[in-house]
Each structure stands twice: as structure tokens, then as C-alpha cells.
Amino acid sequence: MDAIELKAELREAKRSRVKQLRRQGLVPAVVYGKEAEATSLQIEARALYKVLRQAGSHQLISLQIGEDPPKLTLARDIQQDVLKHDYLHVDFYAVTMGEKVTANVPVVLVGVAPGARDKGGVLTQGLDQVDIECLPSELISTIEVNVEGLLDFNDSISVSDLTLPEAITVLSDPDSMVAKIEAPRMAEELEAWEEEGEELPVSAEPEVLTASREDEEGDRSAEE
């Protein structure tokens, strides 16, 4: 996977200048790594937005700092304004090609699920990204999951069902659901509850008896 190029300039590490930089359309950043000393940077906001929209935190970014040779990095701590979603600060980790890194790779569902097309079920997606570990050269941009094998209600695909290159280690819970065919009524009820912000009805949740509750139930039965 090719690295995406991004230009940056050195900046003075002074808090008093941060607001001024942002008013100028620049975003403060820092690059660091095991073999790279922490360096304060400033990056043009529009260029940063364009690159991070494509690379996220899972694709290599070739960071060109002034006239220095480019550094291969991964975006790590990405801080954004809660309301405007403008970038406030970004940390870049300078990778070492022989050292494994972790990344959150987006999950993309592909194909048509017969359980939804032919039986009226609803295709729902669980995880929208999967955590992986691999060498920088083995990073992938997306994980495509074919849903054409989901034939009936409750058919599902879990993390353990994913097929990835041998060089990649999956860190996400293998039992986590990636995609599933829900029965229409169940899907509609879940959607309604989520929209109204309500908790699942009591009937939908199993009752768990604690030790003390079990004793109370036992005493009540004995008295009857």
C-alpha cells in the first residue's frame, strides 16, 4: 500500500502561538517515534483534512518536513473540535519498517445478502473497523467482507470468520459480530428503541439471580 504524501513545517513549541496558527489556517502537530526525536510541526489545515480523510489512522503517511527526507508515519492522536470538527492537533508516529504496528482498519460490506434480498431480512453491520497488528509494509486500507453467504435470519459473520493475509494478526475479539441478518420485526423494534433512547424491555433481557436472590426464592418456595 502506497504512502500518502503530506507536507509540514517546523514550528516553535509555544502554547501562546497555537490559537494564532489556527487562525492562519494551520494545525499544530508533532511527530515522534522510537528512532525519531519528538518534533513540533505545523500543517496546512486543508491539506491535512484531505490526507486524514483518506488515510485515517491505518494508512501510511509520507511526512515531508521542510527540506528533510520524508518520514513514514501513522496518524495517532487526532484531536478535533466537538462542534465544528476542525482539527486541533495531530500526533504522527514515525514507524520503523521492521517493527510491527497496530491499526484500526475500516470494514466494508460487499455483495448482496440473500437473507435480505429474498426473505426480507435486514442486513446489520456490527463492527465498522477491526484492530490489527502487522509490519508497516503489510498494512491494508480496508477489510472487505462478502455477505453473499448470509442466506437466512440470524446468519452472521464474526471476526473469527474474516480471511486476512497471514502476515496480519487480528486483535479484535474473535466473537464480535461483523454482519448479521435480522428478522424484520426485531430490526424495526431495535431501531425504534435506539431512536427513542430507551432501554431494551425487561422481556428481552434474561433475569440474573444473585446468590442472595436465589436464597430468597428458595425460602419463598419452602413457605408455599
> Domain residue spans in the chain?
4-96, 102-204
Comparison of pLDDT for 217 and 95, the residue scoring more:
95
pLDDT for the residue 205:
42
Per-residue pLDDT tens digits for 56-85: 999 999 999 999 999 999 999 999 998 888
Residue 196 backbone class (left: φ over 0; alpha: ψ -120 to 50; beta: rest): alpha
CB of 211 within 8 A of CB of 219?
no
**pTM for the structure as a whole:** 0.75
Confidence of residue 126 (pLDDT cuts 50, 70, 90): very high
Element (H, E) at 224: none
Q: What is the pLDDT of residue 36?
A: 78
Our CA dihedral for 126, 132, 136, 141, rounded to 10 degrees, sits at -10
Q: In what side-by-side order are the strands of the sheet with 122-125?
A: 122-125, 177-182, 156-158
Give the whole-number percent of the chain exceeding pLDDT 90: 69
pLDDT tens readout for residues 2-48: 899 999 999 876 666 788 888 899 999 999 998 878 999 999 999 99
Angstrom distances, CA of residue 181 to CA of 6, 25, 112, 120, 149:
41, 46, 11, 9, 11
Per-residue pLDDT at 163 exceeds 90: yes
Residue 186 parent element (H or E): helix 184-196
- Average pLDDT in the chain: 86
CA dist 103 and 129 (Å) reads: 10
Q: How far is CA 223 from CA 151, 177, 209, 214, 219, in A?
A: 51, 46, 19, 14, 6
CATH architecture of 102-204: Beta Complex (2.170)
Residue 169 predicted with pLDDT over 70: yes
Pair 24, 32: CB distance under 8 Å: no
Fold of 4-96: Ribosomal Protein L25; Chain P (2.40.240)
